[in-house]
Amino acid sequence: MGNRGWGAWTILMAVLAIPGRSSGGGPGPYGPQVDQPRVDTRIAAAYREEGRRLDGSVTQVWTNTTQDTVPDLWFHLYWNAFSNNQSTFLSESGGKLRSHSVTPGTEQDSEWGWQRVTSVVVAGEERIASLRYRQPDSGSSLDKSVFSIELAHPLAPGQTVEVSVRWESRVPRLRRRTGYKDDFLLIAQWFPKLGVYQSGRGWNCHEFHERSEFFGNWGTYDVELDLPAAYEGHVFASGVPLSPSERQGERVIARFQAPSASDRAHADAQGHTPLVHDFAWTADPDVKPRRATFHFDEWRQRFPDEVARVQNALGKERDISLSDVEVWVLMQPEHEVLWKRHYEATCTALFFYGLWFGEYPYERVTLVDPPWGGGQAGGMEYPTLFTCGSSLFVPEDSQTFENVAVHECGHQFVYGVIANNEFEEAWLDEGFNSWADSEALLRRYGPRMANTEYSGLHYPGVTIFPIGGGGALGDMIAGRALDVPFTGFKFQPLRASGFVDYWRDQPSLAFVSSYADQRWADRSDYLRDPAGDPLSASWRYKNGETYKIGAYVKPAVVLRSLPAVLGPDGDARLLRGMRRYADALRFRHASTVDFVREFNAGAGEDVSWYFDETFGGTGTVDWKIEVSEQRVADPMGFAQDDVGGPFEFQDRLEKREPQSEPENRLDILVSRTGELCLPVDVRWTFEDKTSETVRWTRDEQQKSRWKRFTRISTKKCVSAAIDPDHGYFLDLNMRDNQWFKAKDIVAPWRWTERAFSRASHWLFFQGGLGG
Amino acid sequence: MADSVHQVEPSTSIAIPGRPVFFRALIATFGRPPIWIIAAGMTALLALISAAPWFTWFDSVLANRYAPGTLIRELSETFRFDNLVASGPQTVAARGSGAALALAAMLFGAFQAGGWLQIFLERTHGHSVQRFFHGGSRFFFRFVRVLLLTLLWLHIAGWLVYETPWKWVMSLFFGAVDGNLEVLTSELTARRVVWMQDGLYACLFCLISAWGSFTRTRLALQDTNSAVWAGVCTWWTLMRHPLRTLAPLCSLLFVDGALLLGVALLARLLQSGLGAAGDWMPVLFLFLLDLLALLLRSVVRGAGYHAALQVSVQVVQPLPRPDPWKHAIGGPGGPQYPIGGDEYGVSL
């Protein structure tokens, strides 16, 4: 899809008319700022291991803050996504949950999960008879992840209603964010949850999709959990426990409050009282909880440059200090030794995100390390609680867990504090987070080291040269595999096997160290399919790849390129724009329109066009620079002194003194392919290290796809570059963005040596099979 | 059957007692520089064929587009991505040519084994290069058959360790369906299972390699043609004398590993010195280190045959050979008198 205007984009999205509302079509997902409804929730639930049952009741108090009179209430029943393989979720995923096929078969199979509502009392009146399953997005009648209740009396604007729902559920095997693995429980999206009502749009209550996350009302949670006694002292949740868990025979009662009482009593610097928009909990008899406190002053001393950068951008008068946060790290026993890495990563997010988006407003944050076989719970965020993952023998330089922990803790800011509709505008949390996590990781850990795994052990380094094989013929010749015709038999003499592969590869001799700057790695991910989709509702992307690009990395590279768009002082203006947005939307539901409005105000420049073209379109850009330099010839030839006079040959046409040094004509041609027109600098440097920088403006690029710069000088040009400071992370190919007079003559030998080393050890290994 | 014309006798140096077998093998092999230089040189030549196109590729890609010295130490993320498409044809070509070179390497391995065994089996009197090539060609097709058997054994080993039998064992012990270890309650246990699996395969791989060495040695020693029969007999020998046969080869494996470790430390040192634009020396030394590693490994590989031969002459029973004088009295060049006959003749 080509580049389109913001208006056209908005209209198109409206025409697509993403369903999910009980009333009217309304504007598209980029419509005006949504209402800021509040729902306070009380839950009492009991878990029983027999049959993996989780039953309970939830009371939600909702005030109609919209301008509409509301005739019904819509709820999510997320676990019904796992109740049959025709649900919207499993239909979209091809019956798979994070690459794991749901076991076909009977009710006995442990993969399934479901939720059943047994009672709905609205304002003291039982309304279960009006329950109706809704499929606002797919129309699949077998999806039961959304239901509605008809109100006996429509709720007028400003009125409040209390609705109590009793439900029963079967806990699914942990395959997708929630469920159990042996004794471990990670329970999320687990109760009948009221959807979000938006003025003019009705209920924004989507089915559970494979590629989407959630959207919830702001409010408070008071939760009481009744669990087997084995979990005593090992239950953790969003918020904080109200008191130590209480033993009652073979059961234990744990009570939680989110936000905590002290959080609720403490308004932040902007005067907002903290709220949350979801509640999740975890229980594990084996978990080893570790606790430490994040102190801003420690981190301020460790990263004074970053503090100064933010302080300078926001102004000296702005208080950018952050509150202390109690960090709980719930480690599996065999991973306990790794807890400090998780703690450090969590603090990394609390510090850098705190500087960029404002402080973390809750007293506690809890990190959950799922057990072996429960990794599908990892990498997910809930208010004040998030999951990551650990693995043994993984070097810190690879940043494998650190990457996840920083990202998920980062969601406490973009998702947790600044909430958004993750169904429809996932980029507002995932994209922001991808931008910020790479920046934070780079500042704390440096570039990420690539390594090669042999039998679960990591060797630092990689090979960049392929070895023989590939294709049926290649594999056969190299002795790897042969499909014996007509038999179905596969002859595989040389299999992948860690220790033998290590001996074959000899990585200590033949590999190269490789580090990736996370910011540029985002660009690489974006360029896998840069024109695949504009930003869209999560389930409307072409495939998982374009979803990942659209929700995660494209926004990241677009945001990261903003300083180049903004020009001088771009970095500070970026920080100001981001902070303005974060301050304005704290404890609110943010939309793209909110972001653009607030960012423009904060950055002091209207760059709506940039977001329009990048987020609303699929346009790309690829710049190129070509340089030619040649000596200026002395002016000579036939000249005509007078009009009508004869032409006479002259060996010097101009009567000026010859230059002591020959003059050179420098021609620099910059050109652009792709639809994006972004202002960019062009710089060339002469042999005396002087340089000249000019800006190729957006207007100029809109008029012409190329521009030529010509200079006559006695100095020779040694290098020239377009976007010389590498401010844009969007260029399709940066190889042709620069030119150097001198050529690297060692590098080809250097890499040929590596190829030789790689090939020699591999061929020696192969030769050993022969004799 | 044995061909008396080509029958070779083990050199007396093979049977010298005293020092460990692997050590004697290393000394004997190291004393024949032309052979291990040829062996290493052949592998180096094949590797050079594989690597040379990359020089052209890098030279054309780098051109004047990257600042000198910026891509010496490592290739940046942007370089790797920006040139991904451009490297596609080269990658495909490298894979294809690599497969052909792998085949060539395996065949040369078979040739090389024949050469080494020929040299160790006879006194070469300074004609070792000539006898190396003679032995290589003489045993080549027999050893190619051993290569095919080796591949077959490797397939069976892989099937045992990674396919149905292993999955059955996992199901029996852990209840793991289709080998899926997520049923375990501990990552460390799962890791240990994988190490056991990969370790078992590595041991089988080494055992099959040792079997190949002893089978080739047996074929050369007895000068027989049947690779299958020699292979069966070798398994029997390995089972009867596991320590005697495998210990020298294991020792050489450790020597190989130790040498590689030393070279790797040097390589690391050189790699850390990379980075300056126009600095050729570390690159040159890395090339030389690659060659050194190949030379050392070729010596160790040759020593493997010497060790196998030392052991084989002691544990492999000599074949009963037909006695050419069984039915006559006399000898070559002289009169032969048939036993039990009334007539006699003169054999020239």
pLDDT value, residue A309: 98
CA separation for the pair B152, B148 (Å, rounded): 6
- For A153-206, write each residue's pLDDT tens digit: 999 999 999 999 999 999 999 988 899 999 999 999 999 999 999 998 999 999
CA separation for the pair A553, A556 (Å, rounded): 5
- Whether the CB of A767 is below 8 Å from some CB of chain B: the reply is yes
- Whether the CB of A751 is below 8 Å from some CB of chain B: the reply is yes
Q: In B, which residues are within 8 Å of A738 by CB distance?
A: 65-67
Whole-prediction pTM value?
Answer: 0.91
Indicate the pLDDT class of residue A234, thresholds 50, 70 and 90.
very high
| B101: nearest CB among A456, A740, A763 | A763
Minimum distance, in Å, between the CA of residue A479 and any CA atom of chain B: 8
| Residue A123 backbone dihedrals phi, psi, to 5 degrees | 50, 45
User: Hey, are the CB atoms on B279 and A746 less than 8 Å from each other?
Assistant: yes
User: Hey, are the CB atoms on A763 and B46 less than 8 Å from each other?
Assistant: yes
User: Hey, are the CB atoms on A493 and B109 less than 8 Å from each other?
Assistant: no
User: Hey, are the CB atoms on B158 and A493 less than 8 Å from each other?
Assistant: yes
pLDDT value, residue A547: 96
| A479: nearest CB among B151, B162, B286 | B151
- Whether the CB of A647 is below 8 Å from some CB of chain B: the reply is no
pLDDT value, residue A32: 45
User: Hey, are the CB atoms on A469 and B110 less than 8 Å from each other?
Assistant: no
CA separation for the pair A55, B43 (Å, rounded): 69
Q: Which amino acid is at A459?
A: Y
User: Hey, are the CB atoms on A527 and B216 less than 8 Å from each other?
Assistant: no
- For A702-746, write each residue's pLDDT tens digit: 999 999 999 999 999 999 999 999 999 999 999 999 999 999 999
pLDDT above 90: residue A464: no
Helix segments in A446-561, DSSP class H: 471-477, 498-505, 507-510, 518-526, 544-548, 554-560
pLDDT value, residue B277: 64
Indicate the pLDDT class of residue A354, thresholds 50, 70 and 90.
very high
User: Hey, are the CB atoms on B260 and A509 less than 8 Å from each other?
Assistant: yes
The mean pLDDT of chain A is 91
- For A567-590, write each residue's pLDDT tens digit: 999 999 999 999 999 999 999 999
Cβ within 8 Å of B, A 169-188: 182
CA separation for the pair A144, A81 (Å, rounded): 7
Indicate the burial class of A741 (C-beta count within 10 angstroms; 0-12, 13-18, 19 or more): middle
User: Hey, are the CB atoms on B54 and A751 less than 8 Å from each other?
Assistant: yes
Average the pLDDT over B163-169 and give the result: 96
| A508: nearest CB among B103, B186, B264 | B264
The helix/strand/coil state of B346 is strand
List, in sequence order, every residue forming a beta bridge with A330; answer none if it has no partner. A289, A368
| B188: nearest CB among A392, A491, A752 | A392
Spacing of C-alpha A96 from chain mean position: 22
User: Hey, are the CB atoms on A768 and B109 less than 8 Å from each other?
Assistant: yes
pLDDT above 70: residue A13: no
User: Hey, are the CB atoms on A745 and B100 less than 8 Å from each other?
Assistant: no
| Degrees, nearest 5: CA angle A392-A394-A399 | 130
Minimum distance, in Å, between the CA of residue A436 and any CA atom of chain B: 19
Pairing, β A96-97 against β A70-76: unpaired
| A498: nearest CB among B66, B103, B198 | B198
- Whether the CB of A489 is below 8 Å from some CB of chain B: the reply is no
User: Hey, are the CB atoms on A771 and B114 less than 8 Å from each other?
Assistant: yes
pLDDT above 60: residue B1: no
pLDDT above 60: residue B50: yes
**Least reliable range by pLDDT among A259-273, B12-26, B116-130:** B12-26
User: Hey, are the CB atoms on A735 and B51 less than 8 Å from each other?
Assistant: no
The helix/strand/coil state of B348 is coil
- Whether the CB of A645 is below 8 Å from some CB of chain B: the reply is no
Interface size A-B, in CB pairs within 8 Å, comes to: 311
Indicate the pLDDT class of residue B126, thresholds 50, 70 and 90.
confident
| B54: nearest CB among A719, A744, A755 | A755
pLDDT above 50: residue A683: yes
Give DSSP secondary structure letters for A378-431. Answer: -SEEETTEEE----TT--GGGTHHHHHHHHHHHTTTBTTTEEE-TTT-TIIIII
**Least reliable range by pLDDT among A274-278, A369-373, B333-337:** B333-337
CA separation for the pair A716, A713 (Å, rounded): 7
- Whether the CB of A656 is below 8 Å from some CB of chain B: the reply is no
Give percent of chain A above pLDDT 70.
Answer: 93
Preceding omega of A259 cis (within 30 degrees of 0): yes
- Enclosing H/E stretch for B263: helix B242-272
Minimum distance, in Å, between the CA of residue B337 and any CA atom of chain A: 46
pLDDT above 90: residue A696: yes
pLDDT value, residue A288: 97
CA separation for the pair A729, A611 (Å, rounded): 15
Minimum distance, in Å, between the CA of residue A684 and any CA atom of chain B: 13
Q: Kindly state the greatest CA–CA separation across chain A.
A: 121
CA separation for the pair A553, A522 (Å, rounded): 6
Give DSSP secondary structure letters for B117-132. Answer: HHHHHS--TT-HHHHH
pLDDT value, residue A37: 84
Residue pair A346/A331 in contact (Cβ under 8 Å)? The answer is: no
| B102: nearest CB among A478, A527, A719 | A478
- For A302-349, write each residue's pLDDT tens digit: 999 999 999 999 999 999 999 999 999 999 999 999 999 999 999 999
pLDDT above 80: residue B151: yes
pLDDT value, residue A472: 85
pLDDT value, residue A3: 41
**What is the radius of gyration, based on Cα positions, of chain A?**
31
pLDDT above 80: residue B213: yes
User: Hey, are the CB atoms on B287 and A753 less than 8 Å from each other?
Assistant: yes
What's the complex ipTM? 0.91
